[in-house]
Amino acid sequence: MANAEHSVRGSATTDTRTGRARIALWLVAAVLALRQTVAVLGQPPGERFPDLETWLGDNGVLRAGGPLYEDGGFTGTPFAGLVLTPLTHAAEQTLGVAWTLGTLLLVAGVGVVAARALPGPVSRRSSLLAAPVAISLLMLSLPVRNSFHLGQTSIIPVLLVLLGCFAVRGERASGALIGLAAALQPTVLLFAPLLWFTGRRRAAAGSVLTFAVCSALAWAALPGDSRTYWLDHAAGAGLGSHSDGLANQSLHGMLLRFGLEGPLEIALYLVLAAAVTWFGLRRAVHCARDGQLLLAVALTGCVAVAVAPTTWQHQTLWLLLAVVGRVGKRERDRMLWPFLTVAAVTLPAKMLLPNLSVMAPIRENAVLLMAVAAACAVPFLDRSSPHFRQPVPTVYVTPAPSRWSRVPLLPFWRRVVSRPNLLLELIAIRVGYSIYSQIRLAATAGVDEARAHGRQINAIEQAIGIDIEHWFNHVVVDSAWLESFFNFYYTSFHFPVPLLILGLLFVRSPGDYRWARSALAFATLLALVGFWLYPLAPPRLMPGMGFVDTVHGTVDLANPDFGAMTAVTNQYAAMPSLHFGWSLWCGVVVVMLAPKLWMKALGLLHPLITFAVIVGTANHWILDAVGGAAVVAAGFGLTHLLAGPRRVILPQDTAPAAGGPDTAAAPTAPVLVPAAREPEPEPGARTADTPGAAAQGVTAPGVAAQGGKAPGVTARGAKESAAPQ
């Protein structure tokens, strides 16, 4: 009876939390939809929907009565032109309101249908939360945002295909919807082979027949335009301006960007398109037979993205649907593919990859490469795999008792000491820093306000007697070797030292890597608040105070847009100083984790030199460094509040007795060790990657007690092995 009562209470609590989460997610989706609507309708009527205006405006090709493709403004099929022509009057009367609301309904329809088509087994919680999550991701994606902004119709074919595959009953209706979608976007006809080879042959034949009928109607009504589209331009190839532009994310566009043209480019394009079609459709058919029809639809759509002559950004929505595929046997690797997919579809490529010339081919074709990878290479799991529903669980450990007994630890942050997925970490760091840079650049203010804050800081320092910036700046200027050293240190050590420390921790001490990385992230986020709320002119940008900018040289302070750096970074983001803050973080981490005294001393030397450098080069006030120290302290404090102290408790299952390996093992007490190394499993012990570990109640990889200590763990906790996983 007690167990039954506990089960009922647990179920009720879970349902309550799920209900609250569902309401919150629907509110997020509504806010995103409202934001998108306001962004579109907030534009003047003449500036809304530039593509739609090209078609339906006063001088639009659909109203002028001339050829559709005469000026290259219209890139749709003749059937699309035939269907859109009656909408001219309605679009003109409603000033885009009806078009915007209709697009919202289309997006909601795609999200709801996709959420209901998730490959099973699906938990009740996932089924309840899937729709608002899907709609939110769609609202954030670049294809949907471009469709709203440009007034495009690319969402309609996606919704028609989803309705044909998952919503309507009967193969005849399914084929009609998919054929109608193909008449609007010819590459959708690739779904016919998918239907045929998965046993829905009537639907496949119906889709081809519907496509042929719609195209024939358009040919009868618009013979000249149909001839131009299908014969002169080979199904739209070459329509629109700049087929070699970055917006054309197709194999044809990529080859043009590589400088290929003429018969060689066409031949290579046909070979690549045939290969992608062959491998992609084979994988899609396999996924459909495996019961993952939504993934099969997404992969077929990715093939269409790659092989179409022109695939504009608003047509790449198929890639987002591929997020439903499951990749990775371990739970810690399971989020890599969804993160990469969502990032590729929602963020500009320049935020995903650094602006280096060697990365340009990948950065310029990021969406295309993701679509080709999804269609042909990504190792999606079959439903028959034992890891499809239950991946190898991540090992969570218990924080050590906190000295701050009155500060309750928040329960939702679970500590992990195993090594995280490297690629996921790199992408997350890159995206996080890109977002940080964008917010920092956007946190601009008036020059007068920033200089007024500079005078406030200077007055405070004078009041407490620490205003040594001017004196020290001129000491540096009068010493050529010191000025050269300070300039070199300022420009060379800000990024490499933190990255080096993070890299070493990732390899040698995964648990400490997570702890240190979280503290650094919190400190950086808090610094953004300071940049936004308190724009501050550094000493070098304060006119009349006699400071010399040793790093950037002489600038025209009378011109607010001085210097090339103004277009790259916000030069008034000085309080707090992350130059000093990041160096202080490095010093704290090295002092806490380095095994040698000389290493600790070297770690302390870095923030001390950085403090002297930022003051001596007139890039920061002394109080900026105080602010940097404050956000770093707050970052470590938040990490402690969420996850507890750095040390963790590694509970032990059993340990071999002294009598030999066959002797019965006796339970041992939990061992308190620093999270400084990833423990190496003992022979025969269960590890984090052993599926049975969770069932046995093991929460950390093999740590056995020997005389009250874990094997390989000294009193200082620095001997654990970092065995790669």
Q: Which residue has the tokens 């938990």?
A: 123
Cβ density class 209-228: b for 16+ within 10 Å, e for less: ebbeebbeebbeebeebbeb
Q: Which residue has the tokens 């709801």?
A: 112
Of the candidates 716, 516, 549, the one whose C-alpha atom is nearest the C-alpha of residue 635 is 516
Q: What is the pLDDT of residue 190?
A: 94
Measure the CA–CA gap between 657 and 281, rounded to whole angstroms.
Answer: 57
Mean of all residue pLDDT scores within the chain = 79
Q: What confidence tens digit (pLDDT) does each residue in 536-595 have?
A: 888 888 888 888 888 876 554 455 555 444 444 667 888 899 999 999 999 999 999 988
Residue 343 in contact with residue 302, Cβ under 8 Å?
Answer: no
685: tokens are 């012990």
Residue 291 class from Cβ within 10 Å (0-12 exposed, 13-18 middle, 19+ buried)? middle
Q: What is the 3-state secondary structure (H, E, C) of 454-499?
A: HHHHHHHHHHHCCCCHHHHHHHHHCCHHHHHHHHHHHHHCCCHHHH
Three-class DSSP category at 706 = strand
Residue 350 in contact with residue 363, Cβ under 8 Å?
Answer: yes
Measure the CA–CA gap between 159 and 168, rounded to whole angstroms.
Answer: 12
For the segment 238-254, the average pLDDT, to the nearest whole number, is 80
Measure the CA–CA gap between 693 and 699, rounded to whole angstroms.
Answer: 8
DSSP class per residue in 192-229:
HHHHHHTT-HHHHHHHHHHHHHHHHHHHHH-HHHHHII
Q: What is the pLDDT of residue 288?
A: 94
Measure the CA–CA gap between 175 and 196, rounded to whole angstroms.
Answer: 11
* Cα of 337 vs its chain's centroid, Å: 10
Of the candidates 689, 684, 688, the one whose C-alpha atom is nearest the C-alpha of residue 661 is 684
Q: What is the pLDDT of residue 410?
A: 57
User: Which percentage of the chain shows pLDDT scores above 90?
Assistant: 34
Of the candidates 15, 130, 77, the one whose C-alpha atom is nearest the C-alpha of residue 310 is 77
Residue 714 pLDDT grade (very low, low, confident, very high; cuts 50, 70, 90): very low
Q: What confidence tens digit (pLDDT) does each residue in 427-441 have?
A: 888 888 888 877 777
661 has pLDDT over 80: no
250 has pLDDT over 80: yes
> Cis before residue 354, ω within 30 degrees of 0?
no
Q: What is the pLDDT of residue 325?
A: 92
36 has pLDDT over 50: yes
Residue 723 pLDDT grade (very low, low, confident, very high; cuts 50, 70, 90): very low
Measure the CA–CA gap between 390 and 589, rounded to whole angstroms.
Answer: 36
Give the torsion sign (CA, 383, 384, 389, 393).
negative
Residue 430 class from Cβ within 10 Å (0-12 exposed, 13-18 middle, 19+ buried)? middle
Helix axes 142-150, 124-140, angle to 10 degrees: 50
Residue 303 pLDDT grade (very low, low, confident, very high; cuts 50, 70, 90): very high
28 has pLDDT over 60: yes
Task: Specify the higher pLDDT residue, 344 or 551.
Answer: 344
Q: What is the pLDDT of residue 406?
A: 57
Of the candidates 326, 257, 272, 325, the one whose C-alpha atom is nearest the C-alpha of residue 303 is 272
Residue 624 in contact with residue 646, Cβ under 8 Å?
Answer: no
Measure the CA–CA gap between 80 and 66, rounded to whole angstroms.
Answer: 16
Q: What is the pLDDT of residue 397?
A: 76
Of the candidates 280, 294, 272, 465, the one whose C-alpha atom is nearest the C-alpha of residue 374 is 280
Three-class DSSP category at 509 = coil
Residue 710 pLDDT grade (very low, low, confident, very high; cuts 50, 70, 90): very low
Measure the CA–CA gap between 346 and 143, rounded to whole angstroms.
Answer: 8
Reported as type and span, the H/E element at residue 136 is helix 124-140
Q: What is the pLDDT of residue 717?
A: 36
DSSP class per residue in 648-694:
EEE----B--TT-TTSPPB----EEE-TTS-PPPPTT---TT-THHH
Residue 662 pLDDT grade (very low, low, confident, very high; cuts 50, 70, 90): very low
Measure the CA–CA gap between 706 and 704, rounded to whole angstroms.
Answer: 7
Measure the CA–CA gap between 373 and 264, rounded to whole angstroms.
Answer: 24
For the segment 609-628, the average pLDDT, to the nearest whole number, is 92
Reported as type and span, the H/E element at residue 415 is strand 415-416
Measure the CA–CA gap between 387 and 42, rounded to whole angstroms.
Answer: 48
Measure the CA–CA gap between 512 and 524, rounded to whole angstroms.
Answer: 18
Residue 169 pLDDT grade (very low, low, confident, very high; cuts 50, 70, 90): confident
Residues 6+ apart with CB under 8 A from 282: none
Residues 6+ apart with CB under 8 A from 466: 622
Tell me which DSSP letter residue 637 carries: H
Q: What is the pLDDT of residue 407?
A: 56
688 has pLDDT over 50: no
Type of residue numbered 168: V
Type of residue numbered 691: P
Residues 6+ apart with CB under 8 A from 572: 444, 445, 447, 450, 535, 536, 537, 538, 541
Measure the CA–CA gap between 56 and 575, rounded to whole angstroms.
Answer: 51
Of the candidates 532, 720, 484, 522, the one whose C-alpha atom is nearest the C-alpha of residue 633 is 522
Residue 643 pLDDT grade (very low, low, confident, very high; cuts 50, 70, 90): confident
Q: Provide the whole-model pTM.
A: 0.77
Q: Residue 26's CB: how many other CB atoms inside 10 A? A: 16
Measure the CA–CA gap between 363 and 348, rounded to whole angstroms.
Answer: 9
Q: Phi/psi class of residue 687: alpha, beta or left (left: φ > 0; alpha: ψ in -120 to 50)?
A: beta
Q: What is the pLDDT of residue 88?
A: 55
Type of residue numbered 524: T
Helix axes 622-643, 510-533, angle to 10 degrees: 130
Three-class DSSP category at 416 = strand
Residue 200 pLDDT grade (very low, low, confident, very high; cuts 50, 70, 90): very high
Q: What confidence tens digit (pLDDT) does each residue in 447-464 have?
A: 788 888 889 999 999 999
For the segment 272-300, the average pLDDT, to the nearest whole number, is 95
Q: What is the pLDDT of residue 214?
A: 93
Residues 6+ apart with CB under 8 A from 45: 95, 96
Q: What confidence tens digit (pLDDT) does each residue in 70-125 have?
A: 665 677 788 887 887 666 555 555 556 777 888 899 999 999 999 999 887 777 88
Of the candidates 160, 159, 168, 154, the one whose C-alpha atom is nearest the C-alpha of residue 200 is 168
Q: Phi/psi class of residue 95: alpha, beta or left (left: φ > 0; alpha: ψ in -120 to 50)?
A: left
Measure the CA–CA gap between 181 and 304, rounded to whole angstroms.
Answer: 13
Residue 646 in contact with residue 401, Cβ under 8 Å?
Answer: no
Q: What is the pLDDT of residue 361?
A: 87
Give the torsion sign (CA, 506, 512, 514, 517).
negative
In terms of DSSP H, where are the helices of 494-621?
A: 496-508, 510-533, 578-593, 597-616
Q: What confidence tens digit (pLDDT) does each residue in 366-423 have?
A: 999 999 999 999 999 999 998 888 888 887 777 666 655 555 555 556 777 778 888 8
